[in-house]
Structure 1
Amino acid sequence: MKSIAAVSRVKVSADGHGVVSHAGMGMLRELAELSGLSAGVTAALADTYRGPWIYPPGAVFADLAAAVADGATCIDGVGQSCGDREHVFGPAASTTTMWRLVDERIDAAHLPAIRAARSDARAAAWAAGAAPAGDGWLHIDMDATITIDHSDNKQNAAATWKKTYGHHPLLAFLDRPEVAGGEALAGLLRAGNAGSNTAADHITVLGRALESLPAAYRPDPDDPAAQKILVRSDSAGATHKFATECRRQGVGFSFGFAVDARVRDAVDTLNLADAWYPAIDSGGGIRDGAWIAEATGLVDLSGWPAGTRLILRKERPHPGAQLNFTDADGMRVTAFITDTPNGVIDGQLAGLELRHRQHARVEDRIREAKATGLRNLPCHGFDANNAWLEIILAATDLVAWATLIGFTEHPDLATCEIDTFRYRVLHVAARITKGARQIRLRIDATWRWAAAITAAWHRLRDAFP
Structure 2
Amino acid sequence: MKRSWFPGLVVDDVRESLVSSSGGLLLTRVARVAGVERALSQALAPWRGERAVHDPGKVLFDVATAVALGGDCLSDLAVVRSQPDLFGQVASDPTVSRLIATLASDVDAATAAIRTARAQAREQVWARHRPVAGGVGGQVIVDLDGVLVTAHSDKEGAAPTFKRGYGFHPMFAFVDHDEAGTGETLVGLLRTGSASSFTAADHISVLDAALAQLPAAERGQVLVRADTGGASKAFVGYITELGLEYSIGFPATAPVIAAVQAIPPHAWRAAADGDGNPREGAQVAELTGWMPATARTGGTDDWPSGMRIIARRERPHPGAQLRLTDHHGWRITCFATNTKGTGWRLADLETRHRLRARAEDRIRGLRDTGLANLPLYGFGQNQIWLEIVALAADLLVWMQTLAFDHDEPARRWEPKRLRLRILAIAGRIINSGRRRRLRLPRDWPYNHLITTGWASLQPT
TM-score by length of 1: 0.92
Correspondences of 1:280-429 after superposition (within 5 Å): 280-299=272-291, 300-302=295-297, 303-343=302-342, 346-408=343-405, 411-429=408-426
Cα distance between partner residues in 2 of 1:237 and 1:14: 59
Q: % of aligned pairs identical?
A: 40
Deviation at 1:274, TM superposition (A): 2.6
Structure 2 unmatched runs, 5+: none
Tell me if structure 1 keeps the 8 A contact 2:313–2:333: yes
Tell me if structure 1 keeps the 8 A contact 2:131–2:181: no
Tell me if structure 2 keeps the 8 A contact 1:180–1:416: no
The change in CA–CA distance for 1:363 and 1:6 in structure 2 (over 3 A counts) is closer
Tell me if structure 2 keeps the 8 A contact 1:21–1:428: yes
Correspondences of 1:8-407 after superposition (within 5 Å): 9-78=8-77, 80-105=78-103, 107-129=107-129, 131-132=131-132, 134-135=135-136, 136-152=138-154, 154-178=155-179, 182-219=183-220, 228-270=221-263, 272-299=264-291, 300-302=295-297, 303-343=302-342, 346-407=343-404
Give the letter aligned to residue 415 of structure 1: R
The change in CA–CA distance for 1:12 and 1:214 in structure 2 (over 3 A counts) is same
Cα distance between partner residues in 1 of 2:64 and 2:407: 24
Deviation at 1:52, TM superposition (A): 4.4
Cα distance between partner residues in 2 of 1:84 and 1:256: 48
TM-score by length of 2: 0.93
SS at match of 1:376: coil
The change in CA–CA distance for 1:417 and 1:197 in structure 2 (over 3 A counts) is same
Tell me if structure 2 keeps the 8 A contact 1:342–1:348: no
SS at match of 2:457: helix
The change in CA–CA distance for 1:417 and 1:181 in structure 2 (over 3 A counts) is farther
Cα distance between partner residues in 2 of 1:183 and 1:14: 44
Cα distance between partner residues in 2 of 1:6 and 1:444: 25
Deviation at 1:4, TM superposition (A): 4.7
Give the letter aligned to residue 83 of structure 1: R
Cα distance between partner residues in 2 of 1:48 and 1:432: 34
Cα distance between partner residues in 2 of 1:28 and 1:14: 31
Give the letter aligned to residue 262 of structure 2: T
The change in CA–CA distance for 1:181 and 1:163 in structure 2 (over 3 A counts) is farther
Tell me if structure 1 keeps the 8 A contact 2:131–2:180: no
Give the letter aligned to residue 421 of structure 1: L
Structure 1 match to 2:456 = 459
Deviation at 1:287, TM superposition (A): 0.6
Deviation at 1:181, TM superposition (A): 7.1
SS at match of 1:452: helix
Tell me if structure 2 keeps the 8 A contact 1:118–1:394: yes
Cα distance between partner residues in 2 of 1:320 and 1:366: 28
Cα distance between partner residues in 2 of 1:130 and 1:404: 10
SS at match of 2:334: strand
Of 291-300 and 28-37, more deviation after overlay is shown by 28-37
RMSD over aligned CA atoms reads 1.8
Tell me if structure 2 keeps the 8 A contact 1:130–1:401: no
The change in CA–CA distance for 1:279 and 1:426 in structure 2 (over 3 A counts) is same
SS at match of 1:108: helix
Q: Deviations over 1:401-445 (max 9, x none)?
A: 110111115522111111111101111111111123321111112
Tell me if structure 2 keeps the 8 A contact 1:148–1:375: yes
Of 433-442 and 27-36, more deviation after overlay is shown by 27-36
The change in CA–CA distance for 1:213 and 1:180 in structure 2 (over 3 A counts) is closer
Tell me if structure 2 keeps the 8 A contact 1:233–1:254: yes
Tell me if structure 2 keeps the 8 A contact 1:181–1:396: no
Give the letter aligned to residue 376 of structure 1: N
Tell me if structure 2 keeps the 8 A contact 1:368–1:417: yes
Cα distance between partner residues in 1 of 2:3 and 2:192: 63
The change in CA–CA distance for 1:259 and 1:435 in structure 2 (over 3 A counts) is same
Deviation at 1:126, TM superposition (A): 1.1
The change in CA–CA distance for 1:275 and 1:131 in structure 2 (over 3 A counts) is closer
